Structure 1
């Protein structure tokens, strides 16, 4: 009956007077903006791969690994912008900072429609990476500032799923553009894709300027009453929020086990997403040894990968909330997924008839999309573990996670998943097996450390964990 009691508590959360209404308000105004922002963010990111297989490669004369190098240029800009972007949230209101960055990347996306060579795209994508640097970790910082531990996983999952939805829908948008706008006013379909994606982003930015509520302690949102603002502050643990511009802050950050523990976790976990982030299924189809796919098929078939990612993300985010924040379980699931899917593709590469191997490869890549669940759960895990630490320390740890992952990914993609390695990416499959094994071991060690630290901090602050009601309590 303990399971029944836990299920009841999960779906029947007890709120303070007025708290349920507050949560509904911040769900609407925070999640709508953050999800739409991340949706357009991933729409803008994935459009490069969609454009590549829709005629851009031939029109601009791509050779070798130039596509992968352009992706690395974006990653380099993303790395440069990580910590400065999150530190900026200490000085510039998120309501101003987030939408401003969106306007910049929307403009850069539309400018991409005018390029005439791959080198120009690389330069644009570098600055686009800087502009987009705060979207992911900045939003996780905001979510951790507003939501309690029992609420955070589901919201993080919804946010992450919105980015995957951008990847999924991007393929269908390119297919529609290819059939309706290709050569309209002399522009290729892939050029129209960049223009339309940029235009879609601007209204979302305007919405953010007006409605985004900043953080609980700084909010001036007109739709929140004074009592709701006070209640929002009381829902999160009171911590001292000191300036990050000090030697002590820097020293504490770079020597913290949290900083390195979660950074290395996301370095490893981030590389388990390589099959999706490097569009390997699209490149496999583009270089298929036996079949030639149409432009519509090249854009539509790979959308199964983010579709699986959305389902997996929402499932694991909800389940780990239900299991009282056991986010580490996702690490074990992803480790198994990475090993099995890589082994399937390696086995398929040795088939004499590549057409027989094709269903196995498609199935493996679709299953591999499930690893996207680690985005929501691991950043929620970091937010949970740092709930009793000062806000900017939490912000820097979150930024450090993404920074470390992207520093590695800037060269990892070129070494293991270069476009010229299609269709089998044999070297990358072995790399995936290695990082998947490493993830299992690192997850185990980090889960032990964070559980012990949380218990210690609660004892220091005199916080007692609420017991799960038994069946008699529910009668």
Structure 2
């Protein structure tokens, strides 16, 4: 028997490649699917997580500074904290939609890095503030730049990851912000103990200086290493970028092709208005996150820190004990993501109902006996479950709106924008610092939003099923189709793959 020739041997090797390897058409270059996903996680997920982490370190740092001497130094009254938070919320609302739309026309790595550096400089400015008006002004402009992070990142994650990959990545992203909240509290205690009075500057002022020193390297890292979206590197938008070193054009093409197909004829013009308003997506997702955002009001308005301050707990306890809420938030967010990723029959609305029930229990416990430390600690920590809604609802919107990039950008921004718009006055009415330690109005408000969020989630699922019934679902376009008829990423659904050659 004769030995196979070089060409035959090459074909034999190629045919033995598993579904994890892909041959780029016309290039002869082999790359590994798992390694590509690893690189996406390493450079996409790492930057957005670092950015969101320092975003929350800076944001929660203001609360920690307030209860660590700022209130007394600047002669702030109780409700001044809520007013400054409202100024922040107004800036956040104003910046939300423009930031998401700018990400469609400007390189995301440049815009997100610029915004990160900008709010870092404003954080440094907070270390020199001496008046209540100065606090309000800086917080407003901080929010304008910080509003690029949350919904903008979910837009970018939806451009890189499949539906099956999104829950875990969204959970890791949102958890990074919660870790930042925990870190800020611990850091404030350490700074106060070690730096208070150093060079004539109070410990709470040193917190803002150190926050700035951490923020700048993250902005630089994003400018150099964050790849933005999976577009080709052969254009003038990639100056100072390592994108062309990290990814080949074939890898970026595959990164686009492996996602669900979307209508590439749709553009960011006035046609987006009727496209958005004629569908239910914008209305119900915006509404459900208004409710979901207010389910977090006990945590987001620092009611536990206020309660601890009211009850005479020490400064270290006021900074450290609330970290338990964020720890529960991280755990519940990751567990929700694992449930959605690993269980075939799992649905987003299942998690939404669970969160609604947990928030009802929190409201009832606090209303029943707010002066009991055991009840307040248990209820506040249990309330951390509400943070799982951040990853769940935004990942859900990413999936439902995947066909229209511009609609998806507007829906994701609107969810956060309307939630912030309601929270701007909601916190003043129901969770003002003067209502501590009973928070009676806040308990009734939380009970209402929890029940309503569960009901709206059921309606969203009903309309989502209706969409599935009216149109054929678009299959993932996988470059492995070039080689094999079966892709092990499809969880054993043999025979149902639709072969395509269209580039997404």
* Same fold, judged at TM 0.5 (above): yes
Q: Shift in Å at residue 467 of structure 1? A: 7.2
Matched residue, 1:440 = 454
Contact 2:349 2:458 in 1 (8 A): yes
> What are the Cα deviations for residues 100-155 of structure 1, in whole angstroms up to 9, with x where unaligned?
00000000001001111222111111011110111001110110000011111000
Deviation for aligned residue 1:209: 0.4
1:245 offset after TM fit, Å? 4.7
**Structure 2 Cα separation of the partners of residues 171 and 77 of structure 1:** 24
Q: In the alignment, which residue of structure 2 is the partner of 1:40? A: 54
Contact 2:336 2:351 in 1 (8 A): yes
For structure 1, which segment, 237-246 or 159-168, has the greater mean C-alpha deviation from structure 2 after superposition?
A: 237-246
Q: Residues 285 and 332 from structure 1, CA distance in 2 versus in 1: closer, same or farther, beyond 3 angstroms?
A: same
Matched, 1:383 2:398: yes
- CA distance in structure 2 between the aligned counterparts of 1:181 and 1:467, rounded to whole angstroms: 55
- Is 2:389 aligned against 1:369? no
Structure 1 counterpart of 2:110 = 96
What is the match of residue 496 of structure 2? Answer: none
Residues 237-256 of structure 1: pairs in structure 2 closer than 5 A: 237-241=260-264, 245-256=268-279
For 1:193 and 1:28, locate their aligned partners in 2 and report how far apart those are by CA, in whole Å: 29
Q: Which residue of the partner structure matches residue 480 of structure 2?
A: none
The separation in 2 between residues aligned to 1:361 and 1:409, in whole angstroms, is: 23
Q: CA deviation at 1:454?
A: 3.4
1:189: how far off? 0.5
Aligned to 1:299: 319
Measured after TM superposition, the shift of residue 82 of structure 1 is 0.7
Q: Would you say the 8 A contact 1:113–1:195 is kept in 2?
A: yes
Aligned to 1:316: 336
What's the offset of the Cα at 1:462?
7.1
> Conserved in 1, the CA contact under 8 Å of 2:268 and 2:406?
no
The TM-score normalised by the length of structure 1 is 0.91
Say which SS state the counterpart of residue 328 (structure 1) adopts: helix
1:204-230 Cα offsets, whole Å, 9 max, x none, are: 110000111111135561211222111
CA offsets per residue over residues 428-453 of structure 1, 9 Å max, x none?
01000000110111011101111331
**Which residue is equivalent to 2:142?**
128
In structure 2, the gaps of 5 or more residues are: 1-17, 23-31, 478-486, 494-504
Residues 463/19 of structure 1: CA separation in 2 closer, same or farther (3 Å cut): closer
Q: 2:310 aligns with which of 284, 287, 291?
A: 287
2:88 is paired with a residue whose SS is: helix
1:241 to partner: Cα distance: 4.0
CA distance in structure 1 between the aligned counterparts of 2:492 and 2:186, rounded to whole angstroms? 47
One of 256, 262, 286 as aligned partner of 2:285: 262
Q: CA deviation at 1:468?
A: 5.1
Seen in structure 2, the aligned counterparts of structure 1 residues 218 and 137 have a Cα distance that, compared at 3 Å, is farther
- For the pair 1:197 / 2:234, whether they are aligned, the reply is no
Question: In 1, distance between residues paired with 2:475 and 2:328?
Answer: 42
Return the alpha-carbon distance in structure 2 between the equivalents of residues 312 and 259 of structure 1: 26
Is contact 1:146–1:236 with CA below 8 Å preserved after alignment?
yes
Contact 1:308/1:370 (CA < 8 Å) preserved in 2? yes
State whether residues 242 and 392 of structure 1, in contact with CA within 8 Å, keep that contact through their aligned partners in structure 2: no
Partner of 1:185, secondary structure, is helix
Kindly state the Cα deviation for residue 239 of structure 1 after the two structures are TM-superposed. 2.0
Work out whether 1:358 is the aligned partner of 2:378: no
Q: Which has the higher helix share?
A: 1
Deviation, structure 1 residue 15: 4.4
Whether the 8 Å contact between 1:62 and 1:118 is mirrored in structure 2 is yes
The answer as to whether partners of 1:328 and 1:443 remain within 8 angstroms in 2 is yes
The equivalent residue for 1:338 is: 359
Unaligned stretches of 5+ residues in structure 1 = 1-12, 471-475
After TM superposition, give the deviation of residue 34 of structure 1 in Å: 0.7
TM-score under structure 2 normalisation?
A: 0.85
Structure 1 position 226 matched with structure 2 position 246: no
2:232·2:252 contact (CA, 8 Å) conserved in 1? no
Shift of 1:31: 1.1
Q: How many residues align?
A: 447
User: SS at 2:196's partner residue?
Assistant: coil
SS at match of 1:86: helix
Matched, 1:328 2:349: yes
Report the counterpart of residue 177 of structure 2 in structure 1. 163
Q: Compute the displacement of 1:392 (Å).
A: 1.5
Distance change in 2, residues 1:131/1:425 (3 Å): same
1:234-258, Cα deviation, whole Å (9 max, x unpaired): 1112323457553321122233210
Higher relative contact order (CA 8 A, sep 6+): 1
